[in-house]
Structure 1
């Protein structure tokens, strides 16, 4: 792929890759960094891009660059924890106001792999075959995992709803109730 073709490839895919990454990182700056690294890999490997599957290759590469970014962030977090354990700073907490708090809370409660699948489909609009290409697994595997992930999320939301109404499993069921 020559420079002109790569520029067109970049222009056609930058927004989607950035959005894919941004939904998985804390800040726009982090999304900028991961997206730039993704396209740097694409530039270096531009002659090896699979014909007809360049876009999914780009998402898969972004997914791997993001994993490296997260590992680096975790190392930095661990270092920070070691530092603050020696000299802890004063910390102020602010309440988070979010209309989707319950959904986000339930998403946080499911496994990271379930959450990632659900977000790839819902946020990124990726089809099962596209998710399979990004994760390098078969489409039937993704379909099965998505079905199970949606079920686990639904059960988590139901559980939270029951708790919110005071109907906690294992609680008092009243006279004549069955379990």
Structure 2
């Protein structure tokens, strides 16, 4: 291992660790699963360090790797179902809403979880990861225009569901977007 390679990896790791941990934590059922995802992302990054694009493109490349790692993890979890019921109930209590959380937040969360996976991923990349359509296009491997169209439709579906639940009265505020 060369010192230059190790330094490049360390720079990538320190610059992206918290972003990727946040990304994984918001998409995994447990903090342990999120930690496993991040570890695998960086294992892939180490193996392909010479192929990682420079600068901002490295961040987007890592988000693409993260999506693939999460997809693999979900497939594995579906096949194995190793989590016993006792542990599942203990973990569930860690994520119970506090008394100060409003009923609306629970409803919004349920509506969000009810959206198609592709809509949730697009909306999450914008809201949680702060990516713009061009960056999302790189992560998803599609055109910027396709992202804009999909994002517009995802926002419209979310706005419609929220309005049906009586949470948002102004559909334009969600469906119109604002992200270009």
Give the TM-score taking structure 2 as reference length: 0.77
Long gaps (5+) in structure 2: 168-180
Unaligned regions of 5+ residues in structure 1, if any?
Answer: 85-90, 163-179
Partner of 2:49: 46
Deviation (angstroms), 1:27: 1.2
Structure with bigger helix share is: 2
Q: Report 1 or 2 for greater relative contact order, CA contacts < 8 Å, sequence distance ≥ 6.
A: 1
Distance 2:23 2:115 in 1: 20
SS at match of 1:126: coil
Task: State the 1:50 CA deviation.
Answer: 2.1
Which of 1, 6, 9 lines up with 1:3 in the alignment?
6
Residue 7 of structure 2 aligns to a residue whose secondary structure is: helix
* Separation in structure 1 between the aligned mates of residue 135 and residue 25 of structure 2, nearest angstrom: 18
CA contact (8 A) 1:106 1:156 kept: yes
State whether structure 2 residue 141 is matched by structure 1 residue 132: no
2:75 to 71, 96, 116: 71
Identify the match of residue 147 of structure 2 among 142, 151, 154: 142
CA positional deviation for 1:59: 0.8
Say which one has the larger Rg.
1
> Which of residues 57, 60, 67 is equivalent to 1:56?
60
Instruction: Output one character per residue of 1:47-70: Cα deviation in whole Å (capped at 9) or x when no partner.
Output: 111234211111100110111011
Residue 171 of structure 2 is matched in structure 1 by none
Q: 1:15 aligns with which of 4, 15, 18?
A: 18
- TM-score, normalised relative to structure 1: 0.77
- Name the structure 1 match of 2:120: 115
Q: Is the 8 A contact 1:42 1:58 kept in 2?
A: yes
Other structure's SS at 1:146 match:
helix
Q: Runs ≥4 in structure 1, deviation > 3 angstroms? A: 91-94
